[in-house]
Structure 1
């Protein structure tokens, strides 16, 4: 369902989402003012809240600098989510990690962390492009991380010189060992293979890595080459075989001579998805999605459940669409166009992302080809896929949608049930809004001081009750939206959208059902009238049948003697 309203561009950056990341059963979002929020399953401390409790709504993550003033607090510019851990990048280049740490994916040798932990080793290490001559190091640019990524049990970072770092459960990089293996690295290690080149983007699955690297020393546009390495048991490296790779190797389909350049990359557990455009200018919009690897659940989108060893385009996606975002869950894939169209394929019909109109059962089955959700999402920003849920940022960052499996509150809508149609995430978080009101800091106002403790306690109680009431209302609204969509779909054969709301109801709040019914019949075409006639004929027949059965039961009761009369 398309949103009814859009926040203007001048809206508060605190409420604008600029990035989203999804783990196995948790989600992270980054706001325009540099704050990080999380929700979903709390096991292993992946939410960074200080406990392992689940969160059904987005909650803010507090970092070490939370006690500082707002002007001095750490501001974040990047987020990433592995299966059970999370990573955040601050604007000063520092990296923070929390959650599961059995393989060292947090960057230190210790237990799991329930709160964000500063990865200090980046401050001490050199970088892959540095020289061994100490006299030259003083002229080199200080190391600073520019982007972070995570997947499975590993974490990755790209520094300001284009160097790639990895830690956690990573492919063994030593050339001395002939067999492929994964090792637990509790400190970031550089990938030296790209020395003299610039790593621009990277993604990783359970045990494989795909990187976009410049052909020359610096990225000039149109010169990116796709590399892959790691586990290749299902062809997820796109190299034409199933042999594992210890070192990065060029994916020939997207080498320097290819007509296509990759601009987005995503990895599922054992499959890979890429977005490309033509290197040479063209009069037509040519944006394509390519997939390869494991296809057992239809996650490749090629119409079958067979895996493939080389990249192939997803042919069922329409031509002349510019795809702005792609992501992979464990066994599903989703893409979004600049026009707000969402396609999904793979396990359980893309986990309910784009259910067909006739689906009413509890087991939707897998979707080997892309399924388009019925309505468009205004101004899409990014899509993120978890193990079995998907999150979409739309309305230029001011609205969140989620769908899929809802256990542990992973959908952020206050429920723990599965949702096979997009539902709105509670955003912005009500608790944050109320905290601003309580402290008096909204719109630049100074904090209210010298409050009576009893008055503050009473205010906290009122705010808490108001928060719970708003959550309940939001839950009811989500239920009503879903009910209206199902009912509308049953009658008209298409999802309920904003334009379907009668004009009289939009303008005045008063709904004259008899008049609206007459107007609808007057404006309906023949096909819609035939559909309505069929629907109401079947419904009327069902009512008559039920009335007849009830009347027969009443006649039988009237004719039978009362119990205990002996007759």
Structure 2
């Protein structure tokens, strides 16, 4: 006979709902799910959400696939990457199509890595993009041979005879020949500068990555020790081939740069160092000052033994997350990046010139994956990709919680979206609009139901947050599904007294003392409040009696 006290197995998570990548633009956010779908929310102007309109979205919605264009009636591909610039978005398709429609020019060109090889095998292989990145108003791509392509407002020299730096608007992808014979592994860009991690040799092996920077350098964001702009890549000495540090991740704000490094082998610890340089007037460098710097310096006040799994920069703030789920931000308005026109008042206002830690209801975030910074908001993927948190400026619904207000602490994003799960159980034919684009009565009812469900999900997220705070106060750890009593999972009824007794029986001495302190303080507070109310009533009665007598 089965043990009735055994906790039943919870339903497994749906891998299709797992977030594998996230990106943030000026006021919009992109998320890539495990089933290869891209979702967007926030400001919709310029069509950056890819939902077929320029309207804002307060909750995540799937992007729409244009099957009437050059690709004919080809089905929406499975996407494998996303990137967001200030006002535009990129999505990288997998094997279903060779390259996204916007990059058709790449199909007609050869990779710079293959130009010197005339072998038949390489010339017949189609060029494919394996990574994408976006900055202010530029876009970048790394192909399958490790070559870098750029388009948009990109840094270039004025002419073959004039090496002066300038920005040139390029509508089609152009290859970077400066890294010919090497492999570009990772790249990031700000408003007008680029940073890339490139192999020292032809292929990336071990600790051989070199950090190169180029573009605008008016605030020292290239990390080269001066403020002179470059039209061609130049290696940063601190992260060059002969240095003691191995760079493994990079990020760019508008005018500042962040590089994550590890000690090169041999090293007995996996501890990261976060280096920053460039514009620092809002504390976004984390150096404890508002001074800019043209040479890399470590951000201060970060733990020495932490391994950082992700880093990103906003317009005027920086965020990093460790493998243990610790999240730090610094820069504009306590690291929130709220920008001057959205600053809040109170004792806590002001820029953070040193890293500040953000928590998940008083604890670390579980199983962190990635952090992304928009111009004035931050998004964190954690819980192994199954949950999203956001904070910062909330205009246009960019936080994904159904609101347009700012949030000064992490709040849950509506994830997974409800629309798909809900519509799967409906008759698809009944939802088709009439000819001419007019909505049927069923469409209108469905839209109304979807909005109501989204609001309910938003309220559920708030309740979940409240429960986690209360649970954390009692047990000093975040609330998890495994903490739900078995009796509540098995039936709709719940015996509070029985559950309380069982919890006390299972608690150790330390937990019991914590409960005693918690309820002791609560009881003292209630007694104190009762006493104050009695005094107020006596005084009020006395005043009323005196007033009547005098009259």
**3-state secondary structure, aligned to 2:46:** helix
1:438 is the counterpart of 2:426: yes
- Hey, what does 1:31 align to over in structure 2? 33
Structure 2 CA distance, aligned partners of 1:335 and 1:283? 23
Q: Matches of 1:298 and 1:219 in 2, distance apart? A: 34
Return the alpha-carbon distance in structure 1 between the equivalents of residues 56 and 144 of structure 2.
36
Q: TM-score, with normalisation over the residues of structure 2? A: 0.82
Q: Normalised by the size of structure 1, how large is the TM-score?
A: 0.80
Give the CA deviation at 1:468.
3.0
2:451 corresponding residue in structure 1 = 468
Please give the residue correspondences for 1:542-561 in structure 2 after superposition, counting only pairs within 5 Å.
Answer: 544-545=531-532, 547-560=534-547
Is the contact between residue 282 and residue 352 of structure 2 (CA under 8 Å) also seen in structure 1? yes
Matched, 1:79 2:82: yes
Structure-2 separation of matches of 1:180 and 1:254 = 23
Q: Any idea what the Cα deviations from partners look like across 1:234-258, whole Å, max 9, x if unmatched?
A: 2111111222111110001011112
Cα contact 2:412–2:462 (8 A) shared by 1: no
- Once the two structures are overlaid, the 10-residue window that deviates more, 526-535 or 176-185, is 526-535
Question: How does 1:97-136 map onto structure 2 within 5 Å?
Answer: 118-131=102-115
Which secondary structure state, in structure 1, belongs to the residue aligned with residue 172 of structure 2? Answer: strand
Q: Report the Cα distance in structure 2 between the residues aligned to 1:495 and 1:550, rounded to whole angstroms.
A: 41
Give the superposition deviation at 1:41: 0.8
- Secondary structure of 2:334's aligned partner: helix
Cα distance in 2 for partners of 1:279, 1:78 equals: 29
More displaced stretch, 364-373 vs 550-559? 550-559
User: Structure 1: which 5+ residue stretches go unaligned?
Assistant: 97-116, 354-358, 441-447
For residues 420 and 505 of structure 1, the distance between their equivalents in structure 2, rounded to whole angstroms, comes to 37
Aligned partner of residue 419 in structure 2, secondary structure: helix
Identify if the C-alpha distance between structure 1 residues 545 and 166 changes in structure 2 by more than 3 Å, giving closer, same or farther.
same
Instruction: State the match for 1:243 in structure 2.
Output: 228
What is the alpha-carbon distance in structure 2 between the residues aligned to residue 346 and residue 299 of structure 1? 4
Quote the Cα distance in structure 2 between the aligned partners of 1:402 and 1:58. 13
- One of 262, 279, 302 as aligned partner of 1:294: 279
Deviation at 1:514, TM superposition (A): 12
- On the 8 A contact 1:253/1:311 being kept in 2, the answer is yes
- Pick which of 181-190 and 48-57 moved more: 181-190
* Cα distance, 1:53 vs structure 2: 0.9
5+ unaligned residues in a row in structure 2: which ranges? 1-8, 339-343
Asked if 2 retains the 8 angstrom alpha-carbon contact of 1:349 and 1:365, the reply is yes
Mapped to 2, the partners of 1:50 and 1:502 lie a distance apart of 42
- Contact 1:234/1:294 (8 A) holds in 2: yes
The range that moved more, 393-402 or 136-145, is 136-145
- Indicate the SS of the match to 1:302: coil
The counterpart of 2:368, out of the listed 380, 385, 392, is 380
**Over residues 244-295 of structure 1, what are the superposed CA-to-partner deviations in whole Å (9 max), with x where a residue is unaligned?**
1111100010111122211111111111112222231433222222211222
Higher deviation after alignment, 141-150 or 128-137: 128-137
Report deviation, 1:203. 0.1
Structure 2 contact 151–170 (Cα < 8 Å) conserved: yes
CA distance in 1, matches of 2:274, 2:306: 11
Q: Distance in 1 between matches of 2:194 and 2:211?
A: 11
Distance in structure 1 (CA, Å) of the matches to 2:475 and 2:352: 21
Distance apart, 1:57 and its partner CA: 0.5
2:460 paired residue among 477, 491, 495: 477
| Structure 2 residue 311 is matched with structure 1 residue 326 | yes
Instruction: Give matches, 1:88-237, under 5 Å.
Output: 88-92=91-95, 95-96=99-100, 118-131=102-115, 139=123, 141-174=125-158, 176-237=161-222
Match of 1:415 in 2: 403
Provide closer, same or farther for how the CA distance between residues 69 and 176 of structure 1 changes in structure 2, counting only shifts above 3 A: closer
How far 1:213 moved relative to its partner?
0.7
Matched with 1:54 is 56
2:161 partner SS: coil
Asked if the contact 1:406/1:419 (under 8 Å) is kept, the reply is yes
| Aligned twin of 1:18 | 20
Instruction: Give, in whole Å, the separation in 2 of the partners of 1:367 and 1:517.
Output: 45
Distance 1:528 1:274 in 2: 44
What's the offset of the Cα at 1:419?
Answer: 1.6
**Equivalent residues of 1:203, 1:267 under 8 A apart:** yes
CA offset at residue 487 of structure 1?
7.0
Alpha-carbon distance change, 56 to 255 in structure 1, aligned in 2, over 3 angstroms: same
Deviates more, 1:542-551 or 1:514-523: 514-523
* 1:63 and 2:65 aligned: yes
Aligned to 1:99: none
Structure 1: how far apart are the matches of 2:221 and 2:406?
29
How far the C-alpha of 1:217 sits from its partner, in A, is: 1.5
Contact 1:130 1:140 in 2 (8 A): no
Deviation (angstroms), 1:83: 0.6
- Does structure 2 retain, via aligned residues, the 8 Å contact 1:375–1:497? no
Displacement of 1:480 in angstroms is 3.2
The answer as to whether partners of 2:414 and 2:458 remain within 8 angstroms in 1 is: no
* Residue 395 of structure 1, aligned match among 373, 383, 390: 383
Q: State the distance in 1 between where 2:328 and 2:488 align.
A: 30
Pick which of 496-505 and 534-543 moved more: 496-505
What is the count of residue pairs matched by the alignment? 522
Cα distance, 1:420 vs structure 2: 1.9
Q: How big is the shift at 1:500?
A: 12
**For the Cα contact (< 8 Å) 2:58–2:401, is it kept in 1?**
yes
Worse-superposed segment, 134-143 or 167-176: 134-143
In structure 1, how many angstroms separate the alpha carbons of the residues matched to 2:431 and 2:524?
69
Deviations 1:287-308 (A, max 9, x none): 2222112222222222332222
Distance in structure 2 (CA, Å) of the matches to 1:197 and 1:429: 42
Deviations 1:370-395 (A, max 9, x none): 22223222222211111111111122
Deviation at 1:188, TM superposition (A): 1.8
The match for 1:108 is none
Secondary structure of the 1:478 match is helix
The one-character-per-residue Cα deviations of 1:125-157 (angstroms, maximum 9, x if unpaired) are: 333234389897973643222211001111111
Query: CA–CA distance in 2 between the matches of 1:216 and 1:518?
Result: 61
Q: 1:550 and 1:94 mapped to 2: Cα distance?
A: 78
CA distance in 1, matches of 2:389, 2:521: 34
